[in-house]
């Protein structure tokens, strides 16, 4: 049977998983593809390190260049992570005419335009199903299955670590620090979970999806990103009382004028919405197309096996398309949509918790500021006071980010406000 030579750059969590499953399911893949995917070379930082998944010692090298340059390698799989070395590897592979498969969402979010411009110029496809939502085939869905649709919106839980933390805060009443420590102990969070908890891992994925959906590469500076580090068990509790769950949501939309909106932030969503019951490390995405209507994708968004599944799917597609001339080399830019919407013009509803003195006139001062900035209150709860202090928990009607920033500055400056107010966004999935 014809063999296709694969070079693996990276043999960590995902790379080793890819190798393991290529071996385990060799017969199945060969029967389905009519060819064999044969790993010829593997680059790692330390070839002498003991590994849980074993591969022939002679395949290993400490130089990723050896993988790209090996004439027996036809498809290069980048699973090293990081930016500069991975970028150099992908550029070298494309320039050598070798198809690339990668799961590197941070690299694509930052340098996607440059990489796909080069891929198109050289007619060398780059595949990246593993970069968004692990084993869920969302890239294929948006790019191929919904090719006849304008994408109206995407709402996604696309970071497993933060979804685990928020689930434990909601179900077990843990505070943020305890839930994060538990996620690390369980091996879900990275040793350095910064990009997970500050929202940027999800933002990288949202940038990739939005770019595919709207045919223009989204600049990270045009994305509104807020993490979950400032969330408290009190907010989770108040949200529950009000009939909501808090999720780190990626939201991608396009307005009537074709302006694109991409944001990632902790979001109150109605407890009856399907995304509210996506718990633990699972990911889920609701994609709405103008032809297909509402669709839902659910599955494991990270980890060795689900991510390996996505990489192998890309490998299979690459291997069967080696001699086929493709119009789409990973990303097809077009001019059918407009610019990114300025962040200050993004509109949504809000939850606002304000620690205040418990004395007459306080509510009217807060309501006065909101009225003066033209922001309506849709409901309010006030927990039992300790005699001196209490909190106002307000649900606000729609307002722009600029309006709310102005209101927050004025509210924080009020003498009756005793602490940092907590502002969170609310989504009712109506647009």
Residue 161 contacts ligand HSE per CB under 6 A? yes
160 near ligand HSE, rule: CB under 6 A: yes
Among 135, 199, 227, 301, binds ligand HSE (CB under 6 A): 301
- What minimum distance in Å lies between the beta carbon of 162 and ligand HSE? 7
Q: Does 44 bind ligand NDP (CB under 6 A)?
A: yes
Three-state SS across the chain?
CCEEEEEEECCCHHHHHHHHHHHHCHHHHHHHHCCEEEEEEEECCCCCCCCCCCCCHHHEECCHHHHHHCCCCCEEEECCCCCHHHHHHHHHHHHCCCEEEECCHHHHHHHHHHHHHHHHHHCCCEECHHHCCCCCCHHHHHHHHCCCCCEEEEEEECCHHHHHHHHHHHHCCCCHHHHHHHHHHCCCCCCCCHHHHCCHHHHHHHHHHHHHHHCCCCCHHHEEECCCCCCCHHHHHHHHHCCEEEEEEEEEEECCCCCEEEEEEEEEEECCCHHHHCCCCEEEEEEEECCCEEEEEEEECCCHHHHHHHHHHHHHHHHHCCCCCCCCCCCCCCCCCCCECCHHHCEEEEEEEEEEECCCCHHHHHHHHHHHCCCCEEEEECCCCCCCEEEEEEEEEEEEHHHHHHHHHHHHCCCCECCCCEEEEECCCCC
The distance of closest approach from Cβ of residue 210 to ligand HSE in the complex, given in angstroms and rounded to an integer, is 17
Using rule CB under 6 A, residue 145 touches ligand NDP? no
34 binds, options ligand NDP, ligand HSE, none, Cβ within 5 to 8 A by partner type: none
**Which residue of the set 20, 49, 98, 205 is catalytic?**
205
User: Judged by CB under 6 A, which of 1, 49, 57, 323 binds ligand NDP?
Assistant: 49
State the nearest-atom distance from the C-beta of 318 to ligand HSE, in Å. 21
253 classed as catalytic: no
Q: Write the interaction track for ligand NDP spanning residues 7-36; mark x where CB under 6 A is met and - where it is not.
A: ---xxxxxx---------------------
- Based on CB atoms, which residue is closest to ligand HSE, 302 or 395? 302
- Contact segment (CB under 6 A) with ligand NDP among 80-88, 110-118, 284-292, 359-367 equals 80-88
Which span sits near ligand HSE by CB under 6 A: 79-87, 157-165, 209-217, 400-408? 157-165
Instruction: Choose the one of ligand HSE, ligand NDP, none that binds residue 201, judging by a C-beta under 5 to 8 angstroms depending on kind.
Output: ligand HSE
Q: Is 93 in the site for ligand HSE (CB under 6 A)?
A: no
**Which entry of ligand NDP, ligand HSE, none binds 161, CB below 5 to 8 A by partner kind?**
ligand HSE
Q: Where in the sequence numbering do the catalytic residues fall?
A: 205
Contacts with ligand HSE by CB under 6 A lie at 134, 159-161, 196, 201, 301-302
Contacts with ligand NDP by CB under 6 A lie at 10-15, 43-46, 49, 64, 79-82, 85, 103-105, 130, 134, 302-303, 307
């Amino acid at each position: 049977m014809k063999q296709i030579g694969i070079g693996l750059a990276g043999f960590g969590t995902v790379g080793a998983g890819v190798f393991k499953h290529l071996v385990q399911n060799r017969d199945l893949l060969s029967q389905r593809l009519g060819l064999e995917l044969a790993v010829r070379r593997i680059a790692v930082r330390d070839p002498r390190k003991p590994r849980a998944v074993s591969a022939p010692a002679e395949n290993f090298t400490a130089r990723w260049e050896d993988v790209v340059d090996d004439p027996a390698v036809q498809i290069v799989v980048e699973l090293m992570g990081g930016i500069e070395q991975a970028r150099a590897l992908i550029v070298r592979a494309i320039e050598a005419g070798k198809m690339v498969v990668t799961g590197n969402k941070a690299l694509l979010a930052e340098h996607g335009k440059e990489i796909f411009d080069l891929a198109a110029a050289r007619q060398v496809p780059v595949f990246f199903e593993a970069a968004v939502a692990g084993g869920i085939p969302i890239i294929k869905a948006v790019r191929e299955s919904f090719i006849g649709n304008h994408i109206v919106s995407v709402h996604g839980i696309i970071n497993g670590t933060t979804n685990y933390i928020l689930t434990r805060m909601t179900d077990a009443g843990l505070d943020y620090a305890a839930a994060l420590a538990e996620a690390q102990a369980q091996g879900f969070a990275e040793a350095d979970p910064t990009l997970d908890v500050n929202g940027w891992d999800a933002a990288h994925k949202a940038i990739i999806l939005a770019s595919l959906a709207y045919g223009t590469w989204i600049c990270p500076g045009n994305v509104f990103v807020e993490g979950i580090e400032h969330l408290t068990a009190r907010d989770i509790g108040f949200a529950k009382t009000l009939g909501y769950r808090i999720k780190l949501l990626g939201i991608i939309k396009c307005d009537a004028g074709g302006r694109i909106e991409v944001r990632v932030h902790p979001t109150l969503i109605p407890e009856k919405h399907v995304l509210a019951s996506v718990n633990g490390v699972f990911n889920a995405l609701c994609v709405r197309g103008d032809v297909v209507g509402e669709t839902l994708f659910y599955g494991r968004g990270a980890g060795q096996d689900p991510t390996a599944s996505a990489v192998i799917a890309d490998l299979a597609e690459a291997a069967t398309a080696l001699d086929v001339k493709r119009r789409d080399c990973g990303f097809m830019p077009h001019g059918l949509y407009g610019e990114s919407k300025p962040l200050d013009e993004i509109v949504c509803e809000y939850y606002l918790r304000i620690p205040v003195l418990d004395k007459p006139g306080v509510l009217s001062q807060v309501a006065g500021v909101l009225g003066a900035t033209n922001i309506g209150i849709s409901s309010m709860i006030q927990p039992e006071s300790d005699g001196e202090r209490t909190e106002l928990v307000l649900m606000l009607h729609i307002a722009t980010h600029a309006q709310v920033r102005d209101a927050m500055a004025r509210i924080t400056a009020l003498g009756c406000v005793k602490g940092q107010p907590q502002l969170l966004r609310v989504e009712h999935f109506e647009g």
